[in-house]
Structure 1
Amino acid sequence: MNQAPRLDPALAAGNHQFLADYQARHFKWEAAGGVATITLNRPERKNPLTFDSYAELRDLFGRLRYAQDVKAVVVAGAGDNFCSGGDVHEIIGPLVRLKAPELLMFTRMTGDLVKAMRACPQPIVAAVDGVCAGAGAIVAMASDMRLGTARSKTAFLFNRVGLAGCDMGACAILPRLIGQGRASELLYTGRALGGEEGERWGFFNRLCAPEQVLAEATSLARSLAEGPTFANGITKTMLHQEWAMTLEQAIEAEAQAQAICMMTEDFSRAYHAFVAKQKPRFEGN
């Protein structure tokens, strides 16, 4: 007897995308084995962002919500730096000539990048070396995990250019990573956070040698891609949504989320593998 298809083709058409062959225009994109790597690729300028790269990153992370062949993402910078923030000549210069509606269009676009990063189910690992400033620091902050180097310098330097530290979710996310007092210091002063200090403060999960940070970030992402990716996506969703919940709401939401995970084939496969004293094979379903 023929089994009915697991997913209606019409439903799949609207909700399944395959991005391994995506052709990026404003940064480098590679995908293999379930791990995609985004490389900000302007090393001669310390990999700054432009209007174009902001928009493409926002749209790509939005599409990752529906990607079937990308299970984890690495974000890195080319050369010896992560990202120097918004390009002074291509972003900062034009901004001083814009009116309020266009300025709000820009700030909403940059915030939408962070929202898309937090909304995609794939864990994001940032490989941070060298300069990680302004919007670059935000991209690292919005990732799920950060591997750094001793020579990395992370600076939320918005007040250095006459702006508030409340940029792209910094006042919401950064205190949750390193604490209110430490976040306040960085956002009020704009000073650089060194790699070792960043690890002590909890901004970095761990430090790596500069020549190894990308490889270790990729290895971490690969281990996540080989895990129960549906369940990992639920974990990411709950980590984000529970910021706005009471404890009672969070416990109930987690009860419902875990019950859904218990209906997956990954959960069943893990049980049978345990009984057979084998390593479970996760397929994300």
Structure 2
Amino acid sequence: MTDTPQNFRCEIEGGIATLRLDRPDRKNPLTFESYAELRDWFRALPYRDDVKAVVFGSNGGNFCSGGDVHDIIGPLTKMTMKELLAFTRMTGDLVKAMINCHKPVIAAADGVCVGAGAIVAMASDLRVATPETKTAFLFTKVGLAGCDMGACAMLPRIIGQGRASELLYTGRSMSAEEGQAWGFWNKVVPAAELDAAAQDMAARIAAGPNFGHMMTKTMLNQEWSMSLEQAIEAEAQAQAICMQTEDFTRAYNAFVAKEKPVFEGD
């Protein structure tokens, strides 16, 4: 099955949706239109049973070069404050849509992964890179603050406050080696193996208990603002709900029969 979005590519096979920005000649920048269409696609994802995991892949040797200089940066310099706030809220809505899409998202980044592209990778649940991947939060390079699309909240939780501060103040590139050592990248593989590694990771997740995965993603995000006591109670409630699922019963029956469980997401 293939979705037909206007501003990015989407292919769905085996419960895995693979997205790619489709301007490889420009290193896949984002535009006003692609921001909005990606936001709407992720917003609709909780209601789709045909997608169990998402791979946000690269195209032409690069992941994403951020906001298009001519299509976005130029027009922004001529906008009113009201228009600018509408834009920054829309870009933040893409991150919120990814966080709340109920499905695990895997970023598979090769080459350039900067600006809003780095944010998309950051907002994903899991991240795979190549040795050639260069990641930079470039916002100060264009005279802006590093606090864009949730970076000051999310990046320190992934790589630590000091490292995040350095990247957000300086806008310098983080190498793939640094990113893996700091916990930003889950895995670094040769470029020729990037797609296969991300698809394999997605397939293993998609074969699991998808209702349980939805609950895991929900708790990972909600517990940021909870006390430890609140988090433990929330997880008790979440796990009790999961124990009502058929997948939980299937897993038990398979264990008794010494078989591998086949989960169906209900």
TM-score with structure 1 setting the length: 0.93
CA distance in 1, matches of 2:74, 2:82: 17
Q: Distance in 2 between matches of 1:213 and 1:196?
A: 15
1:264 equivalent to 2:264? Answer no
Does the alignment pair 1:143 with 2:124?
A: yes
**Equivalence for 1:176:** 157
Q: Distance in 1 between matches of 2:172 and 2:2?
A: 39
Matched with 1:77 is 58
Matched, 1:204 2:185: yes
- Name 1:50's counterpart in structure 2: 31
Q: 2:233 matched to 1:233? A: no
1:263 offset after TM fit, Å?
Answer: 0.3
Distance in 1 (CA, whole Å) between partners of 2:24 and 2:237 is 46
CA offsets 1:91-126 (integer angstroms, 9 cap, x no match): 000000000010001000000000000001110000
Deviation per residue, 1:191-217 (Å, 9 max, x gap): 000011110010000101001111110
- Aligned residues: percent identity? 65
Counterpart AA for 1:276: A
Whichever of the two has the greater Rg, that structure is 1
How far apart, CA to CA, are the structure 2 residues paired with 1:137 and 1:21? 26
Match of 2:95 among 100, 107, 114: 114
The reply to whether residue 153 of structure 1 matches residue 140 of structure 2 is no
CA distance in 1, matches of 2:13, 2:5: 15
- 1:151, distance to aligned residue in structure 2 (A): 1.0
Which residue number corresponds to residue 104 of structure 1? 85
For the 8 Å contact 1:41–1:77, the answer to whether it is kept is: no
Conserved? CA contact 1:147–1:205, under 8 Å: yes
Q: Which runs of 5+ in 2 are unaligned?
A: none
CA distance in 2, matches of 1:195, 1:245: 32
1:65 and 1:258 map into 2 onto residues whose CA distance is 20
Listed as ranges, the gaps of 5+ residues in structure 1 are 1-19
Q: Helix, strand or coil for the counterpart of 1:284?
A: coil
Q: Which amino acid aligns with 1:269?
A: R
Q: Structure 1 residue 22: deviation in Å?
A: 2.6
Tell me the distance in 1 between the aligned counterparts of 2:111 and 2:262.
37
Contact 1:27 1:39 (8 Å CA) reproduced: yes
Distance 1:33 1:142 in 2: 23
**1:57-107 superposed Cα distances (whole Å, 9 cap, x missing partner):** 000000001111100000012111100000000000000000001000100
Q: 1:124 — aligned with what? A: 105
> Could you tell me whether the CA contact under 8 Å between 1:61 and 1:117 is conserved in 2?
yes
Letter in 1 for 2:85: L
Partner of 1:214: 195
Q: Report the Cα distance in structure 2 between the residues aligned to 1:122 and 1:75, rounded to whole angstroms.
A: 12
Aligned mates of 1:206, 1:69 — CA distance in 2: 27
Quote the RMSD (CA, aligned, Å): 0.6
- In structure 2, what is the Cα distance between the partners aligned to 1:46 and 1:103? 25
What TM-score, normalized to structure 2?
Answer: 0.99
Give the Cα separation in 2 of the matches to 1:225 and 1:240.
20
CA-CA distance at 1:56 after TM superposition: 0.1
Q: Which of 165, 172, 179 is residue 146 of structure 2 equivalent to? A: 165
Q: Distance in 2 between matches of 1:109 and 1:222?
A: 31
Distance in 2 of aligned mates of 1:145 and 1:21: 23
